[in-house]
Amino acid sequence: MKYRIEKDSLGNVKVPIEFYWGTQTQRAIENYPNVGLRFQKRFVIAQAIIKKAAAVANMKTRRLEKIIGNAIVKAASEIIDGNHLEQFILPPHQSGAGVSQNMNMNEVIANRAIETLGGKKGDYKLVHPNDHVNMSQSTNDTIHTAIHVAAYTTLQELLIPSLEKYQKEMEKKANQFKHIIKSGRTHLQDAVPLTLAQEFSGYFILNRIETLRNVSRHLLDLPLGGTAVGTGINAHPKYGKIAIGEINKMTGFKFKQTRHMFASMQNLNVELEVSGALKTIASNFIKISNDLRLLSSGPVTGLWEITLPPLQPGSSIMPGKINPVMPEMMQMICYQVIGNDATITHATSEGELELNVMMPVVAYNLLNSIELLAAGISAFAEKCVKGIKANEKRIKELLEKNPIIITALTPYIGYNKAAEVVKRAYKENKTIEEVVLEMKLLDKKQVGKIMDFKKLVKSSAIK
């Protein structure tokens, strides 16, 4: 491999000639352990969007020469379009605040801009990573802004559409199951009846989508222009708002400069709120996945009230076995999201004075949660929920054997007598109706009228 020699305040650094990064990125590569983790593509693109917007704002405020500014804009645009992504290989566990990641972007853009001006990599007299690409900026406000831009755009473009897709499929499924009356279960024990539609309505997530939308709006507030500690040192007074206007042109969203610059610079409260909403979604989907596994368990020795789409063989040793692979996949994703939230919670509590330096690990884990949930929920909706079928014969069989339907008779025969009926029904393997008639507590006509399953499952919550 051929190298070029670059120099920084610590001395000379050998940089592979084929790459666009410079001394600070190279030092980071050599210093930080890397087990294959790197910042997500959307985060890198968000960084490039910020650098492009900054260059435009600096040109508009007449601080940056147009020939240099336009070269920066061109280089940043190439990254936004998905080019040069192999230049960003630093792990999220790196220098506090993400200095190395910020400089990685500055150096790549600078060297690519130098090339567009006819120079050679490392000729920073033409375009300098700090003086030009990082003009009016600090790692402290740009990395924080990149988290907000990347997280918000990913939520709007990936996760919320996935949640809406799931909700639509679950509503369709509930509508198909309105006529099916089944045994309810509480404490994993027999309970009073309900419809399969009513049970599935418990898997609706409209409230979770609404909460996520509300919380995510806080990501629209950006600390860009605060530079190092929030005072905006070295930036033109109009720079921040102009740059954010350019970000809005590129993303199509309505970001704005935060009104609480110092609080925003010091804290990662919004990231913590969003992660909390993601954790709640994960908790919901763990429960949903567990229920689908239980309801489809068997087929011979389990509940087997529903069947899930058979997607792949379930065992390397047991022929013919089919496992609930999509719910299992969904649960693993959700556990990861909950783990990510634990990391984010601890990291966001580690701010000191004017800055929280744990931004890189928060950025990585927050985006990891969003992308994992988006991909997982979309696949779960398409490959699992969409193909669920009800085993009506099995459902009816279990319902008729369920002694807890005695609850409907309790107002007529009393709680103690009803408990006696249930005990006898279990012991003698008889239906409630059989035992009630044998004990001459009610006549057949009365039992039939009271224990009309269609009346028993009527609810003001869902028809």
The residue-averaged pLDDT of 178-190 equals 96
Q: How confident is the model at residue 420 (pLDDT cuts 50, 70, 90)?
A: very high
Query: Which helix (H) or strand (E) covers residue 449, if one does?
Result: helix 444-450
Per-residue pLDDT of 243-284, as tens digits, reads 999 999 999 999 999 999 999 999 999 999 999 999 999 999
Q: Is 351 in contact with 387 (CB distance < 8 Å)? A: no
Question: What is the rounded distance in angstroms from the CA atom of residue 229 to the CA atom of residue 336?
Answer: 33
Q: pLDDT exceeding 70 applies to what percent of the chain?
A: 99
The residue-averaged pLDDT of 195-215 equals 98
Indicate if the pLDDT at residue 463 is higher than 50: no
Pairing of β 389-390 and β 306-307: antiparallel
Indicate if the pLDDT at residue 79 is higher than 90: yes
Residue 316, token pair as written in the block: 């390397």
Q: Is 282 in contact with 334 (CB distance < 8 Å)? A: yes
Indicate if the pLDDT at residue 461 is higher than 50: no
For the chain, the structural domain boundaries read 3-135, 142-177+188-228+266-392, 401-456
Q: Is 51 in contact with 73 (CB distance < 8 Å)? A: no
Q: Is 442 left (phi over 0), alpha (psi -120 to 50) or beta?
A: beta
How many helices (DSSP H) and strands (DSSP E) are in the chain?
19, 8
Question: What does 407-447 look like in DSSP terms, one character per residue?
Answer: GGGHHHH-HHHHHHHHHHHHHHT--HHHHHHHTTSS-HHHH
The whole-number pLDDT of residue 401 equals: 87
Instruction: Name which of 265, 271, 286 is nearest 340 in CA terms.
Output: 271
Q: How many CA atoms lie within 13 A of 372 on its CB side?
A: 25
Question: What is the rounded distance in angstroms from the CA atom of residue 458 to the CA atom of residue 340?
Answer: 42
CATH class label, 142-177+188-228+266-392: mainly alpha
The whole-number pLDDT of residue 400 equals: 87
Instruction: Name which of 304, 305, 311, 303 is nearest 328 in CA terms.
Output: 311
CATH superfamily of 3-135: Fumarase/aspartase (N-terminal domain) (1.10.275.10)
Per-residue pLDDT of 126-173, as tens digits, reads 999 999 999 999 999 999 999 999 999 999 999 999 999 999 999 999
Active site residues: 315
The whole-number pLDDT of residue 459 equals: 59
Indicate if the pLDDT at residue 462 is higher than 70: no
Distance spanning both ends of the chain, measured CA to CA: 70
* Single pTM value for the model: 0.95
The whole-number pLDDT of residue 460 equals: 47
The residue-averaged pLDDT of 297-325 equals 96
Residue 297, token pair as written in the block: 């368990």
Question: What is the rounded distance in angstroms from the CA atom of residue 72 to the CA atom of residue 58?
Answer: 11
The residue-averaged pLDDT of 65-82 equals 98
Q: Is 104 in contact with 88 (CB distance < 8 Å)? A: yes
Q: List, as own/partner pairs, every contact residues 250-253 make where C-beta atoms lie below 8 angstroms and the sequence separation is at least 24, other chains included.
A: 250/49, 250/52, 250/53, 250/80, 251/49, 251/149, 251/153, 253/152, 253/153, 253/156, 253/220
Query: Which helix (H) or strand (E) covers residue 182, if one does?
Result: strand 181-186
CATH of domain 401-456: 1.10.40.30
**CA distances to 160, 257, 452 from 157, in Å:** 7, 22, 48
Q: pLDDT exceeding 90 applies to what percent of the chain?
A: 94
In whole numbers, what is the pLDDT of the chain averaged over residues?
A: 96
Q: Is 252 left (phi over 0), alpha (psi -120 to 50) or beta?
A: left
Residue type for position 98: G
- CA dihedral in degrees (440, 446, 451, 456; nearest 10)? -140
Q: How many CA atoms lie within 13 A of 9 on its CB side?
A: 2
Indicate if the pLDDT at residue 451 is higher than 90: no
